[in-house]
Amino acid sequence: MTRVEPVPDEPAAVVECSERVLCVADYHAGLEAALRWEGVSLPSQAAERREHLLTLVERTDVERVVFLGDLAHAIGDSRGDERDELESLLESVTERVPVTLVKGNHDGDIESLTIELDDEIAVTPTGGIRVGEVGFAHGHTWPSRRVLEAEVVCVGHEHPTVRLEDEVGGSRAERAWLRGSLASEPFVEHYGEELDIDGELVVFPAFNRLSGGTWVNVEGQEFLSPFLPDGLADGEAYLLDGTRLGAYQRV
């Protein structure tokens, strides 16, 4: 049984655990506001992102949404346009289904936003959470032992991207999924003890298409996660449309 099934042409997956959930990573609400501080002027896409997600909730008929970290963009307290976007998003989603937020490195003060919706939103520790045989973690730090011993481990943070070249030398970047076996060695070394690791690792693409990413098939590009690439054995890349590209290093 495939427990993590990407939604065709979307940076999202339906995950079957004790519930049927829609899982997305790296939403990065308020990114346009942050870019303005860096001199890049882009119109806000907050409404489009929200409607995109709500459409996916309805289309996939899920019982819960899991945000796989970095729902927010500001490292600290979300303010202004970002806070407005987050409040509108969470209110809209929780009118339909409950939410689990796996805390990421950009979600430092997210509890200040979720407290009024406490009955409908669960915020996990940074080590993630295990639901049945599926583990969820953001990926900026080491997943908990219990998460790592799940049948499938879902992480974000990396924003995996592949550079594709055409026959005339042109190139483009595409968001991608990475999937492969969990390699136990880096986790055993980190925790200093044996772990019952024999599952699959799924690295989610970023939901926010403006957020950039790690070009996984470009030589010299460093991964962001402390356990990648060593924690991913026989890793393969897939485009959002489902195209299997094979070993990500050789794409």
Could you tell me the CATH number of the domain that includes residue 225? 3.60.21.10
User: 215: closest CA among 180, 179, 172, 185?
Assistant: 172
pTM over 0.75: yes
* Count: domains in the chain: 1
pLDDT level of residue 31 (50, 70, 90 thresholds): confident
Predicted confidence (pLDDT) per residue in 114-130, tens digit: 776 667 889 999 999 99
Q: In what order do the strands lie in the sheet with 4-6?
A: 4-6, 13-16, 20-24, 64-67, 99-102, 121-124
Range of the domain at 159: 4-250
Do strands 232-239 and 214-215 pair parallel, antiparallel, or not at all (unpaired)?
unpaired
DSSP 88-121: HHHHHHHTTS-EEEE--TT-TTTHHHHGGGTTTE
pLDDT given at position 81? 72
pLDDT at 34: 63
Of 4, 18, 8, whose CA–CA distance to 239 is shortest?
8
